[in-house]
Structure 1
Amino acid sequence: MNDTKGTPALPPALAAELDRHWIRLTLIAWIVVAIFYVWQRWSAIHWLSLGDTDDNMRLMQVRALLGGQGWYDLRNYRLNPPGGFDIHWSRIVDLPIAALILLLRPFVGNAEAEKLACGIAPLIPLAATLLGIGATVRRLVAPTAWPLAIVFMMGSTVALLMFMPDRIDHHGWQLAMLSLTVAGLCDPRGPRGGAMVGLASAVSLTIGLEMLPYCAMAGAIIALRWVWDAAERQRLLTYALALGGGCAAGFAIFASEANRVMRCDALTPIWLSVFVAAGALLALLAMVSPPRRGVRLALAVAAGAIIVTGFALLFPQCLGRPEQVSDELYNNWLGNVREAKPIYRHPLRVGLPLMALPTMGLIGALIATWRARREPSALGWACVTLFAVFAMAMLLWQVRAGPAAQVLAIPGVTALGWLILPWLLGHRSLFVRVFGTVAVFIAISGLFAGLALKWFPIDRPKPYVQRVNRATGRCLTLPAMDPLNRLPRQTIFTFVDLGPRLIALTHHNAIAGPYHRNGDAILDVQHAFKRSPAEARAIMKRHGATLMLVCPNMAESTVYRDRAPGGFYDRLAHGETFDWLQSVPMPKGSPLRLYRIR
């Protein structure tokens, strides 16, 4: 499809400039976007509005590194002190945040440097994402189609949120690696494309295993390309070497001490052996590369069977839950995480905007694949279409696949826009040129879903949900937490979802955060709030807590109040007092309630 059919009428000089300097112009566009979002969200940056628990823990991990904690020691000692707990992340994502803090600290001081770093760092992977998307659409749609792809990316709903200021966790970097993976799959230069896919997959897997299914899909697509065409052997070979070598290097440089044991939730020796073995087998296939397609298919299937069978026989503990948590913890917590539920288990106000862009992207990819069926770009479009179908299927497993599905939709919607919009813009009717173009753009971009929910009373959130969201938001703010710093440093017993924010904004310690390696402490918090007051006090004392902090109507509090009637928190929420719990005054209007544990 990479031709001039449907191409907007651009002056030749402008088209040549867009083609020749696309990388430079993309980076200029990224700088403009970054400045805009920093300006737009300056208030959030100023108040260090790290809304997700993972963002707060990421900041704590960076602080520990800059404070002298060992490179391979990722234990957080301020949750569940004095022993703390290990987290399964790596330090890759810490590096740009730490570098920005070190760069800015001499000019604005440490506190302001942290705020600015948290505001700027998430926008860095957006540059790589835009470059990956631009490379893909240049190869498959047209050399000058990349500006349209940027426009569609800026209209995504959940994908763009992963790059917003203060969203400092790893999701933006993994989306960037995904966009580079797709660009590598579509690269007409096989060795370069294979190396890009392998390295991007290795970086993503070193960061975390969330994108493992997509990395596996990319490897399967490269293997299928080789099965279809033996000339793809160089792509397969460089991919295999980059994947195995990249994962080995990632493990050696970034794997924490706690990840050098046989666990299933990160790049540990288990997964390292899988990726290195997969790389070795695929490299062997590429070097042998028999001329007959049927033989190549048989060898690829055999290699896949060896990897899967070996994994099942050698590491049976990883066939179930990779987090390896207890049944109680899974039933009470992990199995109820909203983002881990399939999209059809979510309300329409969540599912419709999330699905709109991937749906249009899949339609566009299918049309583009059909139109390119006799052209050199057909194989690249087949890769994009397979990935788009896979992303849609992933949404039926977990809604957290939404950002990846939206990024993967951009090439398809760009092709669709490149096909339809020029015809509308060139129409004789002014009405069609203006209103038709706007309507089609809204439809193709998926923005129609958000507008429909705004204009029509479809699945509006209930007042109860709105009240919970307001309470949660207020309790997590810096003004709400800051008065706690007037008290001497001590261990505070609080909700699991409040723990990371508490240690990020105050000098106090907490008991638990929503991380599976912190499972025993999570259960202790749940047991304390759900069971009898006597058991609650015993658990708090066992953890050395001297204060208890709660946020009435916070989402987590409703679990203890509504699902454990007669339990400690339910009785506390209904106004009952206890002789071992003394109220500590907080500023007027504070959403938090603080108690001293006797």
Structure 2
Amino acid sequence: MSTPPNRVHRYLLLVLAVLVFGLCLWRAGAAPIIEGLPFKDSDDIMRVLQVQRWLETGAWYELTQPRLNPPTGVDMHWSRLPDLPLAAVIWLSEPLLGADKAALLAAHLVPALLGVAFFAAFVWAARPFTGRAGLLFAGLVAIGLNVPLADFAAGRVDHHGWQLLLATLSAGALLRILALLGTPLGARDGTRFGAQQGTRLSVQLARRAPAPWLAPLAGIAGALGLWIGAEAIPPVAFGAALLALGWLRHGRRGAEQLARYGLALTLTTLALIPLALAPGARDSSACDAFSWVSVALAAAVALFGLGTIAAEHWLARGRPRHSRADQRVPSGHMNHSNVGPMGHLKHLGHAQARLLLAIPLGLLLLGLLYMLIPHCASGPYAGLAEPSAQLVARVSEAQPLLKGLRERPATASSFIVLPLLALLLSAWRSRVSSPRARTRWLGMTLLIAGGLLLMGWQLRGAALANLYAGLALTWWAAAVGARIGETRRLLPRLLRRAGPAVVVALLPLVVTLTVTKISDSSADSDNETCDLHAIAERLNQPPWHTQAPLLIAAPVNLGAPLLWLTPHQVLAAPYHRNNSGIEAGTQILFRDAETARKVIAQRGVDLLLVCPHDPVATYERRDGITLFYDQLLAGETPDWLVEIPHDGTARLLAP
């Protein structure tokens, strides 16, 4: 049996968990969207506003934000799952602290607690690569994963941390399955890290099939992720691919695990329908939120899993029944007289035969999905009107990797360095490991490659790719750490214990600094922005406060901050379901003055806010057209607008 981690290691893991909690709280002031508050972007603000409205109304299914694009408001495409802990903290603390302070307490506390849960899940998920005795090294690596941990910084209350936590749980369960599939029943996986003087680290997965709860755990995690948002589709697909790999290499045992995963995924998505969809909307086929589309995707995985079991039965029928005469046939020859109807396919080799069956089965299911949900074929944002489509295309995290490397080379390079390093490590381990260990390393390679492909499509895949990379790099940390007993000198012992984790933490930073120096990508000259607090102070005074709620037309990225800081309404915020508000805001600021005047009158806009250096203006400027936005920044004021003085750099005007 493998040696359990000693008590000191357990205490150290607890210390590391506390350190993660502290780091998450410490990052409260990192890159806030509103100076002095922990929120990182508009989604964080809108999430808290959504929770506050839920607590006010008690309406579970009411996800409309009425102060955004009134009078109809905007129906948000979000899930209630991330709302639950926020609502609990606010509900418990509001009588003592008041509404605003209770909301800020929740914004600090909930992401940090989720960060601790992520840390624990990561350490658990890494065990197939570190063994029980190497979990401390996994904890050290986890603390160095800056890209994933950024989603657990205080104020980061939106759903991204939830998706990473669920993806970690799913990956941990599936990698355990692959590790155990690679170990024949009654055998032991002999993966060991060399050691001397009594210190030895080993991964031993012995004499047992995968636990029956592992595949269902991964399926449930995937279904909860689908409830939260469409970002869970890649991890769900990667999970199916991992177990398909297990089937290709290990036959019926892998097929059974794939079927369990798919069935758990499907049954959980079905069970979530009453929680996720209002009674009158349970026929929804939305592509951008949980709907029957999610159920269809899950069902496709289940059908593929059941199809692999059927394929195993089919192949088994075609296997030749060896007689004693057959057993005397030299290796490489076979007695064709006993080959059944599928025998020739079977004798292509186990993996090749299964692959030839998997391809048509997969294509059939993809074709069926296309027939059922053709409107989602181009992705979750299929069918968007032009203003919303432009907004989605301009979001920085939606840019492909190559564009990111051109426009933000330092940031994009820091995103890919660990996944590339881990991909090389996993590919090497897949080649040199024993046959029993090879399956899990091939699976790890598949996960990292999938994360890189996702990042190649959109940079928002960086956190997932770095998560998978971190899991692979725990093997390296444990392998180096296991050699600590070979020396008694302090410095070598410290380097072997913490060196790999330090590399994981510092390598992206070093790459960022190096690329910045080489490319001079920090030469952004003017970072002047709106002083939101000065604007809010003016709008929270008479006569504007007494007339609330007034409708404000402002840059789209300032919509959510204005909703938080003032009692007023806004025309637009960066949400693709707010097409009419986004279109109206674009016509006001980024067309000519006459168009702006007409739209302001049509929509009943009460206030107009113009801030310097709005990134949307970069896309909207054209030869021969003077934008109303540029006229206002140049100091021009048409006779149908009145300047409202305030202590800030922005311009605030009223019709």
TM-score range, shorter chain: 0.7 to 0.9
1:324–1:374 Cα change, 3 Å: closer
Code of the aligned partner of 2:427: L
Code of the aligned partner of 2:369: F
Cα deviation, residue 289, structure 1:
4.0
Q: Is the 8 A contact 1:104 1:113 kept in 2?
A: yes
Q: Which residue of 2 aligns with 1:194?
A: 215
For 2:40 and 2:610, the matched residues in 1 are separated by: 18
Code of the aligned partner of 2:380: P
Matches within 5 A, 1:69-108: 70-108=59-97
Matches within 5 A, 1:414-563: 414-423=474-483, 426=486, 441-443=501-503, 445=504, 447-454=506-513, 457-463=517-523, 465=524, 467-468=526-527, 470-471=528-529, 475-476=531-532, 478=533, 480-486=535-541, 487=544, 488-489=547-548, 490-559=550-619
For 1:494 and 1:531, the matched residues in 2 are separated by: 14
Code of the aligned partner of 2:231: E
Q: Is the 8 A contact 1:312 1:319 kept in 2?
A: yes
For 2:303 and 2:220, the matched residues in 1 are separated by: 15
Q: Which moved further from structure 2: 265-274 or 180-189? A: 265-274
For 2:51 and 2:623, the matched residues in 1 are separated by: 37
For 1:109 and 1:519, the matched residues in 2 are separated by: 35
Code of the aligned partner of 2:650: L
Cα deviation, residue 281, structure 1:
4.8
Instruction: Spell out, residue by residue over 1:130-149, the C-alpha distance to the aligned partner (whole angstroms, 9 max, x if none).
Output: 23221232222221222222
Q: Is the 8 A contact 2:227 2:272 kept in 1?
A: yes
Code of the aligned partner of 1:268: S
Q: Is the 8 A contact 1:551 1:557 kept in 2?
A: no
Do structure 1's residue 356 and structure 2's residue 417 form an aligned pair?
yes
Code of the aligned partner of 1:220: A
For 1:410 and 1:462, the matched residues in 2 are separated by: 28
Cα deviation, residue 42, structure 1:
7.0
Cα deviation, residue 422, structure 1:
4.8
For 2:484 and 2:8, the matched residues in 1 are separated by: 22
Q: Is the 8 A contact 1:285 1:300 kept in 2?
A: yes
Q: Which residue of 2 aligns with 1:109?
A: 98
Q: Which of 107, 110, 118 matches 1:118?
A: 107
Q: Which residue of 1 aligns with 2:25?
A: 38
Instruction: Spell out, residue by residue over 1:404-459, the C-alpha distance to the aligned partner (whole angstroms, 9 max, x if none).
Output: 1111111211111222355578458777666798776544x162341354367233
1:319–1:39 Cα change, 3 Å: closer
* Residue segments in structure 1 that go unaligned for 5+ positions in a row: 4-11
Q: Which residue of 1 aligns with 2:6?
A: 16
Do structure 1's residue 324 and structure 2's residue 382 form an aligned pair?
yes
Q: Is the 8 A contact 1:363 1:412 kept in 2?
A: no
For 2:482 and 2:229, the matched residues in 1 are separated by: 42
Q: What TM-score do you get using the length of structure 2 for normalisation?
A: 0.80
Q: Which residue of 1 aligns with 2:464?
A: 404
Cα deviation, residue 367, structure 1:
3.7
Matches within 5 A, 1:587-598: 588=647, 590-597=648-655
Code of the aligned partner of 2:217: M
Q: Which residue of 2 aligns with 1:265?
A: 288
Cα deviation, residue 491, structure 1:
0.9
* Residue segments in structure 2 that go unaligned for 5+ positions in a row: 181-209, 317-345
Matches within 5 A, 1:201-240: 201-229=222-250, 230-240=252-262
For 1:364 and 1:430, the matched residues in 2 are separated by: 28
1:389–1:527 Cα change, 3 Å: same
Q: Is the 8 A contact 1:248 1:276 kept in 2?
A: no
1:261–1:41 Cα change, 3 Å: closer
Q: Is the 8 A contact 2:391 2:576 kept in 1?
A: no
1:324–1:541 Cα change, 3 Å: farther
Q: Which of 392, 396, 414 matches 1:334?
A: 392
1:442–1:100 Cα change, 3 Å: same
Code of the aligned partner of 1:122: P
Is the radius of gyration larger for structure 1 or structure 2?
2
Instruction: Spell out, residue by residue over 1:305-363, the C-alpha distance to the aligned partner (whole angstroms, 9 max, x if none).
Output: 22200122232222225313456336643222221112221222112211122122223
Q: Is the 8 A contact 1:495 1:550 kept in 2?
A: yes
Code of the aligned partner of 1:153: A
Cα deviation, residue 88, structure 1:
1.3
1:362–1:485 Cα change, 3 Å: same
Cα deviation, residue 264, structure 1:
1.5
Q: Is the 8 A contact 2:20 2:115 kept in 1?
A: no
For 1:267 and 1:411, the matched residues in 2 are separated by: 29
1:546–1:46 Cα change, 3 Å: closer
Q: Which moved further from structure 2: 489-498 or 296-305? A: 296-305
Instruction: Spell out, residue by residue over 1:356-405, the C-alpha distance to the aligned partner (whole angstroms, 9 max, x if none).
Output: 22122223323443453234x43223222210111122221111110011
For 1:564 and 1:208, the matched residues in 2 are separated by: 42
SS at match of 2:57: coil
Q: Which moved further from structure 2: 115-124 or 559-568? A: 559-568
1:135–1:381 Cα change, 3 Å: farther
Cα deviation, residue 117, structure 1:
0.0
Q: Is the 8 A contact 2:419 2:465 kept in 1?
A: yes
Code of the aligned partner of 1:247: T
Code of the aligned partner of 1:267: F
1:46–1:37 Cα change, 3 Å: farther
Cα deviation, residue 47, structure 1:
3.7
Cα deviation, residue 578, structure 1:
0.6
Q: Which moved further from structure 2: 187-196 or 160-169? A: 187-196
Do structure 1's residue 365 and structure 2's residue 426 form an aligned pair?
yes
Q: Which residue of 2 aligns with 1:9?
A: none
Q: Which of 54, 57, 64 matches 1:65?
A: 54
Q: Which residue of 1 aligns with 2:125?
A: 136
Code of the aligned partner of 1:419: A
For 2:59 and 2:365, the matched residues in 1 are separated by: 35
Q: What TM-score do you get using the length of structure 1 for normalisation?
A: 0.87
Q: Is the 8 A contact 2:220 2:265 kept in 1?
A: yes
For 1:382 and 1:338, the matched residues in 2 are separated by: 32
Cα deviation, residue 181, structure 1:
1.0
Cα deviation, residue 72, structure 1:
1.4
SS at match of 1:162: helix
Q: Which moved further from structure 2: 420-429 or 49-58? A: 420-429
Q: Is the 8 A contact 2:20 2:116 kept in 1?
A: no
1:140–1:155 Cα change, 3 Å: closer
1:482–1:92 Cα change, 3 Å: farther
Cα deviation, residue 169, structure 1:
0.6
SS at match of 1:219: helix
Code of the aligned partner of 1:202: A
For 2:624 and 2:173, the matched residues in 1 are separated by: 52
1:299–1:266 Cα change, 3 Å: farther
Code of the aligned partner of 1:355: I
